[in-house]
């Protein structure tokens, strides 16, 4: 079965975002405003295109876990700059993605 274009773009956005988050963790000098804006855009794309109806609740739960761990784990791991940088970059991706998926879910519940 062929995937549609939205699934393809969303999947690639997710992969690129995670790779960028890892690169930012290892190379903090790459963490520029332009790269951070790109991560936010990637998060928006993930939220809009990469989460189907059956995946909403698992994504929201996973997104919530990542955001909480990124926030509090980043503080706890402040001494390990690589881990803290990766967690921070993942938060920049997953906060907009999780917000978009949550809003889409609320709107779909309101339509019922």
CA angle 80, 72, 50 (to 5 degrees): 100
Domain count across the chain:
1
Q: In which domain, by residue range, is 29 found? A: 5-111
Whole-angstrom Cα distance, residue 7 to residue 13? 10
Collapsing DSSP states into helix, strand and coil, what is residue 74? helix
Residue 77 · residue 34 · CB < 8 Å: no
H-helix segments, the chain: 5-26, 33-49, 56-68, 74-76, 81-111
Predicted confidence at residue 67, as pLDDT, reads 83
Q: Model confidence at 1, in pLDDT bands (50, 70, 90)?
A: very low
**Contacts of residue 74, Cβ cutoff 8 Å, sequence gap at least 6:** 83, 84, 87, 88, 91
User: Which of 23-27, 73-77, 95-99 has the lowest average pLDDT?
Assistant: 73-77
Encode pLDDT of 14-54 as tens digits: 888 889 888 988 888 877 889 889 999 999 998 888 877 78
Length of the chain: 112
């Amino acid at each position: 079965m062929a995937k549609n274009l939205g699934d393809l773009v969303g999947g690639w956005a997710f992969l690129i975002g995670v790779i960028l988050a890892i690169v930012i963790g290892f190379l903090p000098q790459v963490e520029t405003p332009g790269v951070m804006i790109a991560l936010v855009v990637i998060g928006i794309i993930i939220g809009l295109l990469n989460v189907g109806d059956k995946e909403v609740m698992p994504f929201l739960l996973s997104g919530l876990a990542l955001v909480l761990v990124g926030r509090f784990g980043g503080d706890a791991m402040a001494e390990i700059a690589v881990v803290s940088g990766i967690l921070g970059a993942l938060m920049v991706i997953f906060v907009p993605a999780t917000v978009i998926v949550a809003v889409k879910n609320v709107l779909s519940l309101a339509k019922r």
